[in-house]
Amino acid sequence: MNILRQNSDYALRAMVNLAERYDSEVISTRQLSKDEDIAYPFAAKILQKLAAAGLVTSTMGPHGGFALSRRPQDISLLDVVGAVQGEVTVNTCFMTGHTCPRQPKCRIKPRIAALQEHIEDYLKQMTLADLIEKKEETSTAGKG
């Protein structure tokens, strides 16, 4: 079971790349796809979804590209994942609008509801800024 799909993984990698460049430069789809090892057509689709969700902005022209539309600390992982894959659910019964005829007597959903809540809370609380900090901590660990 993959809670986060491949497109979410790619989107998160792309957004971290953009977060590292926040307030300094835009990056082209081609360069982003190269930097993050994402096939160009797939990167283009992901960036379109992120733009439609208002998470990135695009600049046209020869020096154009993409940039974050908000500060890295204002974009949660849930924002990014939601933009490209939709709801994150551990089971169909947690999907918005889903009604199950077994719900009144179900012994499973109440037990895994806490897991669903933990996943959502974690993704809401973790931001792109947190991921950049983790990367910086990892790259400076052992130096000194």
Q: pTM of the entire structure? A: 0.83
* Distance of alpha carbon 126 from alpha carbon 29, whole angstroms: 25
Q: What is the pLDDT of residue 141?
A: 56
Mind listing the pLDDT tens digit for each residue in 38-90? 999 999 999 999 999 999 999 888 888 999 999 999 999 999 999 999 888 88
At residue 140 the predicted structure's pLDDT band, cuts being 50, 70 and 90, is low
Query: How far lies 114's CA from each of 2, 50, 81, in Å?
Result: 18, 29, 20
Is-contact 22 72, C-beta < 8 A? yes
Residue 12: closest CA among 68, 87, 58: 68
Three-class SS state of 59: strand
Name the one residue in this structure whose structure tokens are 């090892």: 37
pLDDT for position 58: 92
Euclidean distance between CA atoms 107 and 128, whole angstroms: 37
Q: May I ask the CATH class of domain 6-139?
A: mainly alpha
Domain locations along the chain: 6-139
**Cα 54 → chain centroid:** 13
CB 16 within 8 A of CB 38: no
